[in-house]
């Protein structure tokens, strides 16, 4: 049944009594995820970059910081909930909607309808906030399927509750960082173990760390072609190691604003500030020395 107005659709939905089956993530909670993070942090992860001897360097450090930072799942909470208009007819589909990536959007729509991609036309409307959420075109596919089945143009408008509940969340993460300064105040050791619920795994990429490590500090790579492997920031820290471990989740994950960097940068800069505070030096001086 397709409603004749948004109000009628929402009132009809309120009248529904739905019994939902529990899925694979029924037992998952914030507590179980936190326990998984701690368990994974207790053992070494996959070494992505390594130079010097972080254990010796940390033990010999004059000023040390051993810190843990945790990042929760975050919803995009766009000002405008997901919405789209679709009209399917004569083996073609026309879309009007706020899609961040109309190219991939046309692929998604074509796939669910079983029609050639060139038969999908997309008119991009103004976007009331995207931040990575509208990279995913699920709402366009939903409108397209409904239009096909109804044999008429269809407008889909999500409620705020649906938008929050069915987001592609910023991956939750757990950072364990050990860093040390020598007696001259130079940063000599940096050991960063990152554990996240990889969005690359959610989109079925072959390497879970591909989307998670952007902006992390790493040693200079002797091979210039690999200098920015994993999008690391190469430094001259003599003892530097970066490890990654994937945490498993049933929660859908996706790009949230500046993916990965939005929290990785916060952790790195916060640890440097903690070092400066512990050494009683100006944090800007520490960064430029």
pLDDT tens for 116-161 read: 999 999 999 999 999 999 999 999 999 999 999 999 999 999 999 9
Domain count, the chain: 2
**Residue 106 lies inside a defined structural domain of this protein:** yes
- Predicted local confidence at residue 23, as pLDDT: 85
Burial readout 183-209 (b: 16 or more C-beta within 10 A, e: otherwise):
eebebbbbbbbbbbbbbbbbeeeeebb
Q: Say whether both 55 and 69 belong to one domain.
A: yes
- Quick check: 20 pLDDT over 90? no
Question: What share of the chain has pLDDT > 90, as a percent?
Answer: 94
Q: Are residues 132 and 270 in the same domain?
A: no
User: Does a structural domain hold residue 194?
Assistant: yes
**Does 24 score more than 90 pLDDT?**
no
Q: Same domain for 278 and 189?
A: yes
**How many CB atoms lie under 10 A from the CB of residue 59?**
11
Residues 281 and 239 in one domain: yes
| 149 shares a domain with 209 | no
Is residue 282 one of the residues assigned to a domain?
yes
Same domain flag for 34 and 153: no
Residues 237 and 158 in one domain: no
Cα separation of 215 and 193, whole Å? Answer: 14
231 with 191, same domain? Answer: yes
Say whether both 160 and 253 belong to one domain. no
Structural domain range at position 81: 77-165
Q: Say if residues 111 and 104 touch (Cβ distance below 8 Å).
A: no
pLDDT tops 80 at residue 164: yes
Write down the pLDDT at residue 289: 81
Who wins on pLDDT, 155 or 25?
155
**pLDDT digit string, tens, across residues 47-84:** 999 999 999 999 999 999 999 999 999 999 999 999 99
* Residue 212 within any structural domain of the chain: yes
Mean pLDDT value of segment 196-210: 95
Residue 240 lies in a domain: yes
**Taking the model in full, what pTM does it have?**
0.93
């Amino acid at each position: 049944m397709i409603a004749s107005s948004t109000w009628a659709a929402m009132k009809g939905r309120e009248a529904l009594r739905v019994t939902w089956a529990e899925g694979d993530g029924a037992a998952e909670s914030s507590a179980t995820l936190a326990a998984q993070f701690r368990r994974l942090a207790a053992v070494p992860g996959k070494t992505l970059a390594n130079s010097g001897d972080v254990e010796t360097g940390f033990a010999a450090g004059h000023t040390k910081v051993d810190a843990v930072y945790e990042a929760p799942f975050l919803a995009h909470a766009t000002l405008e909930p997901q919405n789209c208009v679709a009209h399917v007819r004569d083996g073609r589909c026309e879309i009007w909607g706020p899609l961040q990536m109309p190219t991939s959007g046309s692929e998604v729509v074509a796939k669910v309808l079983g029609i050639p991609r060139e038969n999908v036309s997309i008119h991009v409307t103004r976007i009331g906030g995207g931040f990575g959420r509208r990279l995913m075109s699920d709402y366009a596919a939903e409108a397209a399927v409904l239009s096909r089945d109804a044999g008429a143009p269809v407008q889909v408008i999500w409620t705020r509750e649906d938008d929050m509940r069915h987001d592609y969340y910023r991956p939750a993460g757990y950072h364990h960082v050990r860093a040390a300064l020598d007696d001259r105040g130079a940063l000599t050791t940096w050991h960063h173990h990152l554990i996240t619920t990889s969005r690359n795994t959610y989109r079925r990429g072959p390497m879970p760390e591909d989307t998670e490590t952007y902006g992390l500090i790493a040693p200079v790579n002797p091979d210039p072609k690999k200098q920015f492997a994993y999008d690391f920031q190469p430094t001259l820290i003599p003892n530097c190691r970066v490890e990654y471990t994937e945490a498993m989740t049933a929660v859908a994950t996706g790009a949230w604003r500046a993916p990965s960097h939005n929290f990785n940068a916060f952790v790195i800069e916060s640890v440097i500030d903690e070092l400066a505070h512990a050494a009683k030096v100006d944090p800007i001086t520490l960064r430029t020395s």
